Amino acid sequence: MSKSRPLLILGSGFSKGVSSDMPTVMELAERLQQEDVLRREPYRGFLDNPELLLSYLSLDQPWRDPEEALKDAGLFIRLQKLLAEHITHCEDRAFKKPIPNWASQLVQHLHEARVPVITLNYDTVMERLVHHLKGTDSSGNMWPHEQHLYDLPLSPILLRQFGTLADVETHTFQLIKIHGSINWFYSGAEGFP
Number of domains into which the chain is organized: 2
Q: Are 156 and 126 in contact (CB under 8 A)?
A: no
Q: What is the pLDDT of residues 163-173, one digit of tens each?
A: 555 555 567 77
Residue 66, pLDDT above cutoff 80: yes
pLDDT band (50, 70, 90) for residue 157: low
Highest mean pLDDT pick, 59-68, 80-89, 117-126: 80-89
Residue 32 covered by a domain: yes
Shared domain check, 136 and 42: no
- Residue 114: its pLDDT value, please? 85
Assess whether 162 and 145 both reside in one domain: yes
Q: Which domain holds residue 141?
A: 8-19+101-177
190: in domain: no
Which residue type, as a one-letter code, is found at position 154?
A: L
Q: Is 94 in contact with 100 (CB distance < 8 Å)? A: no
Q: Is residue 189 part of a domain?
A: no
3 state DSSP class of 103: helix
Q: What is the DSSP letter of 145?
A: P
